[in-house]
Structure 1
């Protein structure tokens, strides 16, 4: 058991590129193409997961409860499944150690969210209330994550990157389908105008509601990424200037 534990620790610290299937090359910070390629490799394993590193797969993402406590509307999503992040591609990634800054952009062909919902309030201009099954299908999600990073010292004396906090800018490019059952306790004469409004004003509706759902998904990705970054020393990723 001791030998196995020592081997696992050794593997995680010293051979991330080969042991975990990462194709990491040393980059200059200003080489956005190289930094993006490394970030794509890290992202792919962040999504896939690795039981040796206690990284759970991030597609699908399951969450028991997501609370949207917004200014004019409140909703709760339960037994929620989020899928589609494994199909996302990085358009670019850039970082600066001096400025403790990391930014990367994802373009996701489709993000789907489904589960159970409960909602009450105003959907921009219309009252809305209901409880039932839901499914959201967003087409071409453009997501930019701005993160503050830090370097931490490992037990091996090497420096590693870690994400401290982040914020998200996101836009849906090609529309979103809203499917909510049992709005207004099944009263179609009340439900249909709300669904029609959501379909016709999908960009504004998405902006109003997406924050809590996006935050849950990106938190999972960052959690996985931080576990993975513990296996790749900075001097294996970046060329000192």
Structure 2
């Protein structure tokens, strides 16, 4: 082999090593990894996630962890019934980092995780468009949206899959994230209903808040869809920086 050929092979090997090194992040000190075979593994995972909350609140850009205060949601649209169409955008959620994990169940064979979380209080603001009927009342308008929700319970079912990336490293990705939410108490305000007609707007807002649980049956699917999409995107970006064996040693 000529000197030039040897040099070429060496360069190629160095490039491959560099690419492989850049494909994985080192596990950061703030992310406590639990050994799969250790006793009370799920309790360890719960504690590890709870320890992450201060970092989730402010974000860690170098590990693709965004700040959850506020959590910014994408545009969402839904027609929960034949008589109602709702759109919301520029939504900010405050208080998402103050979650408490009530229960976690992990099935690493099928890569299915079930997580129950509690949120004492969350607030939202954003913009809305609505047209149709809510609680048998006609409703039409667009403008600012704000709300406060307390005693919130979230049930998350997360489905993942193992795969090999372009460098042959086995990783995990999230292929489905479903969240169901129940709200104990709350209030919501839709400004500029009926093109700013104050009396009609006050009547509808009052009816919504006097029948809050009925309204949430219409509004919850929008919030669940937006939160599920946001958390799937965040979680997927974080976990794909690491190999499966880094995240689940002993599995």
Q: So what's the TM-score if we normalise by structure 1?
A: 0.81
2:238 aligns to what SS in structure 1? helix
Residue number among 180, 187, 191 corresponding to 2:201 in the alignment:
191
TM-score, L = length of structure 2: 0.79
Consecutive unaligned residues of structure 2, counting only runs of 5 or more, are 1-16
3-state SS in 2 of match to 1:70? strand
Report the Cα distance in structure 2 between the residues aligned to 1:58 and 1:8, rounded to whole angstroms.
Answer: 31
In structure 1, stretches of 5+ residues that fail to align are 1-5
User: In structure 2, what is the equivalent of residue 86 of structure 1?
Assistant: 97
Given candidates 56, 59, 62, the residue that maps to 1:52 is 62
Contact 1:135 1:179 in 2 (8 A): yes
Q: Which residue number in structure 1 is paired with residue 9 of structure 2?
A: none
Q: CA deviation at 1:7?
A: 8.5
CA contact (8 A) 2:35 2:250 kept: no
CA shift, 1:191, in A, is 2.6
Query: How many Å apart are 1:93 and its aligned residue?
Result: 1.8
Query: How far apart in 2 are the matches of 1:40 and 1:12?
Result: 27
Q: Equivalent residue for 2:32?
A: 23
Q: Is contact 1:8–1:52 with CA below 8 Å preserved after alignment? A: no
Q: 1:177 to 1:70 in 2, by over 3 A?
A: same
**C-alpha displacement of 1:162:** 1.8
For the Cα contact (< 8 Å) 1:61–1:83, is it kept in 2? yes
SS in structure 2 at match of 1:193:
helix
Q: Which has the higher contact order (CA 8 A, sep 6+)?
A: 1
Distance verdict in 2 for CA 1:106–1:82, change over 3 Å? same
In the TM superposition, 1:1-241 aligns within 5 A as 10=21, 13=24, 15-18=26-29, 21-28=30-37, 31-41=41-51, 45=55, 48-63=58-73, 65-71=75-81, 72-154=83-165, 157-173=168-184, 175-238=185-248, 240=250
Distance 1:155 1:118, change over 3 A: closer
User: Number of residue pairs matched?
Assistant: 234
Deviates more, 1:23-32 or 1:134-143: 23-32
User: For the aligned residues, what is the CA RMSD?
Assistant: 3.0
Q: Check conservation: 1:84, 1:111, Cα contact below 8 A.
A: yes
Q: Larger radius of gyration, structure 1 or 2?
A: 2
- Write the distance in 1 (CA, Å) between the matches of 2:25 and 2:201: 58
> Partners of 1:206 and 1:196 in 2: how far apart?
14
C-alpha contact (below 8 Å) 1:76/1:117 kept by paired residues: yes
CA contact (8 A) 1:147 1:165 kept: yes
Deviation at residue 214 of structure 1 after TM alignment: 2.8
**Partner SS, residue 114 of structure 1:** strand
What does the per-residue CA deviation read over 1:101-131, in whole Å, with 9 as the maximum and x for residues that have no partner? Answer: 1111221122211122221111132221122
Partners of 1:156 and 1:114 in 2: CA distance:
43
